[in-house]
Chains A and B, each alone.
Chain A
Amino acid sequence: MEVQPGHERRRSPHHTLLRGLRSLFKAISGQLNIVGTSRLGRLGLAGLVFFIALGVFAAYLAPYGPYEHVVYPDGKPATLEPPSRAHPAGTTLMSHDVLSQLIWGTRRTLVIALAASFSSIFIGTNIGLAAGYFGGRTDNILMRITDVAFGIPFLPFAMVALMTLGTEDIILIAVMTSVGWRTPARIIRSQVLTLRERPFVSVAESLGASSGRILYRHIAPNILPLAFITTILFVGESALVEASVSFLGFGNPESISWGQMLFYCFASQRMRVAWWWSVTPGLAIMLLVLSVFFVGRTYEEVVNPRLREW
């Protein structure tokens, strides 16, 4: 998406931003087209679109509110009701509708997973870019910091951090990001190491381009596919992390997520009687993460068969 020299016009900062966004959008839709080339990829995309739609339109799709107490016609609360026509996924001990909680929970699960993925990849990519491109001491320092980050046990760290800092969603996202950047930093760096040996970089260097320009105009566009795939896979990873953290009781008690549903189910000690309460949210997690895997697999098969995870 390099701009032709002839088309260069006076650029206001606003204009540059718009163009940047447009080229980013174009790049992403180009990447998505790649995924559409296989059946597995289309299946994964369909899954992702389904869950995103569920999250966006939760208010229209969910028959009940997330914390609405469901009652029988005679006014008694519908507690631990097995799946029926009125409640396809049954009800909980607190007489909430499981399906409705699931739909509402999709939103929070996705928002946290997406936010944590984007911020982790953004930071990780920039660290990887700098380390790989500048090399030498910069590389050494940045990679040793990354090594140290790999020594932090994530789930225990998240528990301690959430205990002391509070369980708001924004803190959860920050905690996930503060460790999550380490993986993309390593992946992107090794890609940059090979890219910087390519002729177009030395050409740009000999033309006197600044290192910032080389990094962001010449190298960054080439790692975009890799960053994209890492982001997608991270969404699945983050969804699992969010579920685990919430399950251990460190979720935000004011809003529902899949992990939180499982936490309430386990803590209520009614697992034995209410199988529907524990099975449904887990299946949702599985379907979401599998969709992510399918998209990732297809994408890597096309873009970089050597990096396939499975």
Chain B
Amino acid sequence: MDLRIFIVKRLLLMLLTLLVLMTITFILFRIAPGDPVASMVSASLNPGARESLTRSFGLDKPMHIQYLLYLKNFLRGDMGQSFYYRLPVTQVLRPKLVNTLVLVGPATLIALIMGVLLGALTAARRAGKLDLFGTVIPLAIKAVPPFWTSMIALLIFSYRLDWFPSAGLRSPGHAADPILEKLLNADFFHHLALPLTILTLHFLAQPLLTMRNSMLDVQGEDFVEMARAKGIGERRVIYHHWIRNALLPVASIAPLMIGAIVGGQVLVETVFSWPGLGREMVSAINGYDYPVAQASFLIIGAVMIGMNLVADIAYAVLDPRVRLE
């Protein structure tokens, strides 16, 4: 199959997944406690305002029309009005999305690179045996929930040693508005260090283990021996023949990693009071701010579906065999 056809097929699947996600959201929020109007319109507004909002969201119409309206509004970027902030949801969530991305983006990137490198290194150094950095630490990290590691990190590095701040994105009074100024200062990095480290540790455990494992599998393969027999330098054998082939299983665990990223993000943000999408979603649900909860859920889902698509295409490029399926 042509790579282009493969990509088109995956894109269609992505749209279908998005539609399913939106449908699930629609159904879940319609059966949420309270009447259907409550899912979009705050109960604390005066009756007149309530009525006009109800009408503008079509909540007085039959269910199937409501559904179509909901899809249409979402595609137009209109996700309703936050009950709590009394602002359009998009306006509330845009900065939160940025905050999440500056935390999760670097963590994912560092974790992928370090995970692959450490996996390759520990495998090349010490074939087969249990070793501290190759198995023991990554396994221990994989065996605990990210929120617990965050709590322990707070306990040690923030409360006991007082090296890092315990919450938030910047110190109070440290308000800078232009985005670059907001992100490129020492205070921000000071706040970022701990959550970033924890997230990176959690994201890198799986690629490290998979890489190490697949390095050990590949080392005995004939083509590695063949490359050696041809008299290619050991360095070239490792980089061009060994690591390259060992990378495939790492690409294939992408869905696993993406799941870990989404879950880890919500938990770590909650513990470190990081004002991102995940924490906002938790507090919106607890505060019955349905429009915000609904929109943040959909945004997280859409980002996840997008990441899956990228991973799929990357895998198809790396291993042309999948395209034949």
Q: Which of B22-30, B93-101, B102-110, B223-231 contacts A (4 or more CB under 8 A)?
A: B22-30
**B17 → chain A closest CB, angstroms:** 4
Residues of B within 8 A of A310 (CB): 135, 138-139, 209-210, 212-213
What is the number of contacts between chain A and chain B, taking CB atoms within 8 Å?
145
Tally of chain A residues near chain B (CB < 8 A): 44
Q: Which of B140-148, B179-187, B240-248 contacts A (4 or more CB under 8 A)?
A: B140-148
A39 vs B305: C-alpha distance when bound (angstroms): 41
Residues of A within 8 A of B322 (CB): none
Q: Which residue of A lies closest to B146 (CB)?
A: A244
Is B33 a contact partner of A164 (Cβ separation < 8 A)? Answer: yes
- Let me know if B152 is at the binding interface, CB within 8 A: yes
- Let me know if B81 is at the binding interface, CB within 8 A: no
What 0/1 pattern do residues 285 to 313 of B give for CB contact below 8 A with A?
A: 11000000110110011001100100000
Known: A156-B266, A159-B281, A308-B213. A148 touches B297 (CB 8 A): no
Residues of B within 8 A of A164 (CB): 28-29, 31-33
- Let me know if A163 is at the binding interface, CB within 8 A: yes
Is A156 a contact partner of B281 (Cβ separation < 8 A)? Answer: yes
- Let me know if A64 is at the binding interface, CB within 8 A: no
Is A247 a contact partner of B147 (Cβ separation < 8 A)? Answer: yes
Residues of A within 8 A of B262 (CB): 153-156
Residues of B within 8 A of A159 (CB): 281-282, 285, 297
Is A247 a contact partner of B145 (Cβ separation < 8 A)? Answer: yes
Tally of chain B residues near chain A (CB < 8 A): 57
- Let me know if A74 is at the binding interface, CB within 8 A: no
A247 vs B148: C-alpha distance when bound (angstroms): 9
Known: A155-B262, A164-B31, A306-B217. A285 touches B281 (CB 8 A): no
A275 vs B155: C-alpha distance when bound (angstroms): 7
- Let me know if B267 is at the binding interface, CB within 8 A: yes
- Let me know if B121 is at the binding interface, CB within 8 A: no
**A18 → chain B closest CB, angstroms:** 38
Is B271 a contact partner of A279 (Cβ separation < 8 A)? Answer: no
Residues of B within 8 A of A308 (CB): 213
Q: Which residue of A lies closest to B151 (CB)?
A: A278
Q: Among residues 227 to 244 in chain A, which have CB atoms less than 8 Å away from a CB atom of chain B?
A: 236, 240, 243-244
Residues of A within 8 A of B11 (CB): none
Known: A148-B13, A153-B262. A247 touches B267 (CB 8 A): yes
Is A282 a contact partner of B151 (Cβ separation < 8 A)? Answer: yes
Q: Among residues 131 to 184 in chain B, which have CB atoms less than 8 Å away from a CB atom of chain A?
A: 135, 138-140, 142-148, 151-152, 154-155, 159
A275 vs B151: C-alpha distance when bound (angstroms): 10
- Let me know if A168 is at the binding interface, CB within 8 A: no
Is B148 a contact partner of A151 (Cβ separation < 8 A)? Answer: no
Residues of B within 8 A of A289 (CB): 142-144
A259 vs B16: C-alpha distance when bound (angstroms): 35
In the A-B complex, the 3 residue pairs with the closest CB atoms: A151-B17, A289-B143, A282-B148
Which of A's residues lie within 8 Å of B, judged by CB?
144, 147-148, 150-157, 159-161, 163-165, 236, 240, 243-244, 247-249, 259, 262, 265-266, 271-272, 275, 278-279, 281-282, 285-286, 289-290, 293, 306, 308-310
Which of B's residues lie within 8 Å of A, judged by CB?
13-14, 16-18, 20-21, 24-25, 28-29, 31-33, 135, 138-140, 142-148, 151-152, 154-155, 159, 209-210, 212-213, 217, 255, 259, 262-263, 266-267, 270-271, 278, 281-282, 285-286, 293-294, 296-297, 300-301, 304-305, 308
Some 14 contacts from A to B, beta carbons below 8 A apart, are A151-B20, A153-B259, A153-B262, A156-B297, A159-B285, A160-B29, A243-B148, A244-B145, A248-B266, A272-B159, A275-B155, A306-B217, A308-B213, A310-B139
